[in-house]
Structure 1
Amino acid sequence: MKKSDFYDPRIPDRDQCVVRYLINRWAQETPDKVYVQFEDGDTWTYAELKERVVRAAVGFQKLGVQQGETVAVWLPNGPDALLAFYALNYIGAIFVPFNTAFCGNMLHHVIDNSDAKIIVVHKDLVPRLTEIDLAKLKVQILCGGTCDTDTGLESHIFDDLKTFPDELMPLVRAIEPWDPQSIIYTSGTTGPSKGVLSSYLHMYSNAGPESWPMVTREDRYLVAAPFFHIGGMAPPFVMLVRGASFALLSGFSTDTFWAAAKQSQATVVFLLGVMATFLMKQPPSSNDKEHGVMKAFMVPLSDDAPAFTERFGIDIYTIFNMTEISSPIVSEPNPTVRGTCGKVRPGVDVRLVDGNDCEIPVGQVGEMIIRTDRPWGMNSGYYKNSEATAEAWRNGWFHTGDAFRQNEDGYFYFVDRIKDAIRRRGENISSFEVEVEVCSHPAIREAAAIGVPSEATEDDVMVIIALVEHATIELTALCEFLVKRMPYYMVPRYIRIVDALPKTPTQKVQKAQLRSEGVTTDTWDRDKSGLRLKREVLKQN
């Protein structure tokens, strides 16, 4: 195939970005190279990957799965999840993973919205299907063994699908780079989860060579995030594009992370949210550098990044990304600019705008909007949600809903989710920046900052915190700690300690729930405690 097939030099060949042709290519060029290592140490070479994928793909076709059809996949990380992902894409079907924590109305919504007639499901999750309306589903394919729960669906065993000896049925047409590959459901923090429709070109642009040039064919990527999250689904594809390899974990564990990295011979890891914080707050060990990891993506970039590099011997990168876009902001290794997300990568246009989409001056805070040079280089809209698609893509740019500022050198700084910003007595406060400073306290594991109604006007700042295991904290001392690290007006008035922050199934903090709970009876009030802030000075009455 030649570039001229597409008449556009920005679009890679099919065997550079489409799962079916990538698998075929690497199985032919590097059949004996290991593509994936699983948690139990089992490995699949590229030749074995193709053989397994083709057999499962034949099984799906025998059950009637058609090119362009959506198929739901409700599985934990493991060989079956990977196989379902690639076997469906191999025949041009659309991979639709569901969060394994979904139940009730959330589960019904995504099943109904996806239009899936077939669901690949772990046997332990099947009882939840009986609690909802399954009018659209017709067939269940069980993983992990058999299940006696009666859902009323035609039932098959996934292991049986992997053994079909027949040849694949021909495709209706070639699978093109702009064809839909997947639908990934967002967290639904402000409403029902939206299904992000992604093409192969979107996934390629998300973490291809121009987006993540630091990840090479020689690397092995350690994947701990679940496949229903873009952070778990994208890395296997990232490495498939490069003809590289990855190691798959069932999930992230602070206690076993470095041992898993060493055992799997991983060279690249992704540290999302508080993962880096959790690792840094583990007791130092003489074994901290005894692993093969050389590069880590830390999102967001913490103040501890230099210390993390020193302690664990790893080069740090950071990015800004979300399911709908394609890594528009990427940093250099070991960025020294505090709090940055990096600079705009090639092939992407980024603007910061006001509420009317008018560009703002450098240094001011505005919403980040994005477009790419490559056709289909970002999401193809929200599946069956034209209103949300039109709102997000208004004026020809994708609106992230995130507030940023940019400095004169081109570095971008995340300020806040626009809906999470706090305004106190005329001052605009970034909840993100409050959380960063609060979490810098060694006793605090995670924190969420919200605005709560003030008796005076606008908001007061409240933080909800969870402590490091076995840690204790004196809240007056916490305020004294914070007043040295942030402007007086950002220091929280209210502090509440909880065991863990409430999260969505994709591990985003449910700030809407925290705001609805507000100032609870167990919340500490700085004003009532007798502490008063006088500009930069904290005084005891």
Structure 2
Amino acid sequence: MESLAATVPELVEEAAGRFGERPFLRLGGVTRDYAETRTAVAGMAGALAARGCRPGDRVAALMSNRIELVDLILGCAWLGAVAVPLNTGLVGGSLRHALDVAEPSFLYGEAPLVARAHAAGYRGPTWLVGAADAPRAGAAEAVAPAPARPEDTAAVLFTSGTTGPSKGVRCPQAQFVWWGRGVGEALCLTADDVLYSCLPLFHTNAINMLAQAMTVGASCVLDERFSASRYWSRVAEAEATVGYLLGAMVPMLLAQPPGPGDRAHRVRRGLSPATPGPAWGPFRERFGVTLVDGFGSTETNLVIGSTPRDARPGLMGTVRPGFDARVVDEALAPVPDGTAGELVVRSHREHAFSTGYLGGPPEPSDSWRRTGDRVVREPDGWFRFVDRIKDVIRRRGENVSSHEVESALRTHPAVVEAAAFPVPSELAEDEVMVVVVPRPGAVLDPADLAQHCALELPGFAVPRYVEVVPALPLTETGKVRKAVLRQRGVTADTWDRAAAASVTSGRRPPGP
């Protein structure tokens, strides 16, 4: 039976009717089947209503992965309210910005995180996790689902803010349903699968895993956080068959010492957007897991992707049914295959995309959306990611892809992770700077790293500046915060290839 749901409440009710006592969710010591999940969601909606929450109200959440957050996200959608799960890493001005943009009617969270919100200036109604007056399933009479429309906002999810202030994305009810169907099809999910994720529930990836499970009757396990050293043991404990990662996590797992747990699990396929091409083969060989890449964002859906049967290292995939994708130039005119340009996407699935940003105008569901990603469409229809447009480095008249520089750096045996970004040049345009993290116990020589890059990259892309650090600044979802690196720029600890060359030659270095 194919799912006919068009909203989150319809998906919850349909799944309860189809799958009943099949296990649905394990999280923090709580295990629920599909029927129990429907009861809990309706009960949470009733508890919210009893505390004054009405359809359209926004309920901000500041809490880690826990059953209360799942209930809140699904319960708000059931009631017609709007869940706003906030990044638990936000503090000070960044948290103040998110709260100012979201304008929540209520805040629900863990005490230490709520204290941060109060310090940031929030003065609205507040519920603390575990308090007697906090809304929770079973604390009030259950209510029937609100007559939600597919286009009604179910949640507001904030972008990661790696290149600027984060934006609140209005995610409609149907967007989550389409995410569930699209990714479920790409991963070839069945009712026999157990899905495992340690990604946070303020991220679209983790929320959409719930929708994928409901679509086919699979079971899902949510963990509290990602740990490279414990990942495979946690996956084994969950008896998972499918894993969910982000591309930045793959090199971290490969950097761990080999051990008996590498293959002592049941996972054979995983969703891992933005996986570095050179890591794909070693990951499958070592861990027995075939990774599936793709393009999707908080604002869109799984527009481009592949399946475990046809995945190709370093390529995002082909356009999925129900969507369109083009590569365009700065004037938004299509460019020929093999030419880099900005990816723009469009949906033919009704309300599969966001309806815009908080504070911004509504965006029609079927309008073309700019992604800010620089990609290439190959002649056979497969798409290859080049870079975020804001991360492209302009050096001596050439566009340098930070993504390609980082991929070259990761092929060095002593490098775990790397970030490339532009810094000002004395002559004009940019210089290439990289910050790298060494493998445990390894010693990185910047000059050796530059020579390695010279064998992998054209001369104009070889980094001038190299700095070795113990860790990169990351968001809670593992994305590198390049804005922080660009702001810091060249420091006293940065190695300068031009300066090193001048010392060796005894001459004053030419322009960088």
Calculate the TM-score normalised by the size of structure 2: 0.92
Q: Deviations over 1:30-89 (max 9, x none)?
A: 22111011254x411112222222222211110111122211111100111111111222
1:428 corresponds to 2:416: no
Rounded Cα–Cα distance in structure 1 between residues aligned with 2:174 and 2:136: 29
Rounded Cα–Cα distance in structure 2 between residues aligned with 1:256 and 1:133: 37
Q: Secondary structure at the match of 1:241?
A: helix
Among 215, 218, 224, the residue aligned to 1:250? 224
Rounded Cα–Cα distance in structure 2 between residues aligned with 1:105 and 1:480: 41
| Structure 2, unpaired ranges of 5+ | 505-512
Match of 1:54 in 2: 42
Among 152, 157, 164, the residue aligned to 1:184? 157
- The residue correspondences of 1:434-473 to structure 2 (distance < 5 A) are 434-473=405-444
TM-superposed CA distance for 1:295, in Å, is 0.7
- Is the contact between residue 20 and residue 33 of structure 2 (CA under 8 Å) also seen in structure 1? yes
- Is the contact between residue 76 and residue 154 of structure 2 (CA under 8 Å) also seen in structure 1? no
Match of 1:519 in 2: 490
Rounded Cα–Cα distance in structure 2 between residues aligned with 1:123 and 1:457: 50
1:133 corresponds to 2:107: no
- Is the contact between residue 17 and residue 241 of structure 1 (CA under 8 Å) also seen in structure 2? no
Rounded Cα–Cα distance in structure 2 between residues aligned with 1:166 and 1:492: 62
Match of 2:205 in 1: 231
Give the letter for the 1:413 counterpart: R
- Is the contact between residue 416 and residue 431 of structure 1 (CA under 8 Å) also seen in structure 2? yes
- Is the contact between residue 186 and residue 306 of structure 2 (CA under 8 Å) also seen in structure 1? no
Match of 2:247 in 1: 273
1:402 corresponds to 2:388: no
Among 259, 262, 271, the residue aligned to 1:285? 259
Q: Deviations over 1:353-408 (max 9, x none)?
A: 1111111111111110011112211111001223xx77xx8994100011111111
- Report the CA distance shift for 1:167/1:404 in structure 2 as closer, same or farther (over 3 A): closer
- Report the CA distance shift for 1:425/1:335 in structure 2 as closer, same or farther (over 3 A): farther
TM-superposed CA distance for 1:24, in Å, is 2.3
Q: Secondary structure at the match of 1:130?
A: helix
Match of 1:502 in 2: 473
Rounded Cα–Cα distance in structure 1 between residues aligned with 2:263 and 2:49: 48
Q: Secondary structure at the match of 1:375?
A: coil
Give the letter for the 1:446 counterpart: E
Q: Secondary structure at the match of 2:113?
A: helix
- Is the contact between residue 66 and residue 93 of structure 1 (CA under 8 Å) also seen in structure 2? yes
Match of 1:480 in 2: 451
Give the letter for the 1:53 counterpart: V
Match of 1:203 in 2: 176
1:490 corresponds to 2:461: yes
CA RMSD in angstroms comes to: 2.4
Among 139, 149, 157, the residue aligned to 2:133? 157
- The residue correspondences of 1:60-459 to structure 2 (distance < 5 A) are 60-135=48-123, 137=124, 139-143=125-129, 145-146=130-131, 157-158=133-134, 161-168=136-143, 174-209=147-182, 212=186, 214-302=188-276, 303-333=278-308, 337-386=312-361, 396-459=367-430
Q: Which runs of 4+ in 1 moved over 6 A?
A: none
Deviating more after overlay: 219-228 vs 281-290: 281-290
- Is the contact between residue 301 and residue 340 of structure 1 (CA under 8 Å) also seen in structure 2? no
Q: Deviations over 1:425-448 (max 9, x none)?
A: 122110011011112223222211
Rounded Cα–Cα distance in structure 2 between residues aligned with 1:445 and 1:81: 33
TM-superposed CA distance for 1:416, in Å, is 0.8
Tell me how many residue pairs correspond in the alignment: 501
What is the aligned-residue identity percentage? Answer: 33
- Is the contact between residue 365 and residue 404 of structure 1 (CA under 8 Å) also seen in structure 2? yes
Q: Secondary structure at the match of 2:359?
A: coil
